[in-house]
Structure 1
């Protein structure tokens, strides 16, 4: 199974980039991970929030194929423990999902068209985090999930 991590905007803070790179490097032992960073919209001052979400949706949906299993990282999504997330990933792999795409939207969330395309929504926490930090938290949790699946000692219960 291939995993794609699709984000609107680039990770800018060096300490976050370093942390993400650390987990991406570790993940190479378990899965093929593709990170796609879409450019943030430019000249958005004249656009409403809904117009921005619509334009971002066009960019997001262009990167998703009809057979991809799409999971939005969304505050209204299901909340899973690390063990439950590992079971979720494992179930998708066993269920012959060829590519699972995890998506982080822009600052105003997702357009209705992206919600309509999504197979699932996942919340990383009831708290709100910056989109930059979500990238680090997600890559760490993905790594943790694979160590749980493989029975490796990274995760402590």
Structure 2
């Protein structure tokens, strides 16, 4: 077999680096690992995600947030992460609104958070898949009456 350089192979064939499909757990662990690389890094928090309408929340972005760390990673983008929006992170990492809220919202930490703190929140979401009360709370939060009462509190 003749040895060829990568450049020679690119001339003959389309060569793309691919990663094996990651499970939900692996995607979340990888995200936590990215955050733990620089645990003292200051990240922006999302302002009041629980008070945003569903459409606004799904499109929400916060420059310099934990979601930006995930989106900057080529492996997660290759796995299918399309943007650093709240809705895309929720879909890609298979998180409930409450789980993602705990990771990125300002109500827990103020306007900024440390990456190490965000990593702890990501890791805590790993084992909470399918918990009864999490799923119940998620279902109730979309009821119109619940949203009306929640907005009346404001």
Question: TM-score, normalized by length of structure 2?
Answer: 0.27
Higher Cα Rg, which structure: 2
Structure possessing the higher relative contact order (Cα contacts under 8 Å, 6 or more residues apart): 1
Looking at secondary structure, tell me which structure has more strand per residue. Answer: 1
Looking at secondary structure, tell me which structure has more helix per residue. Answer: 2
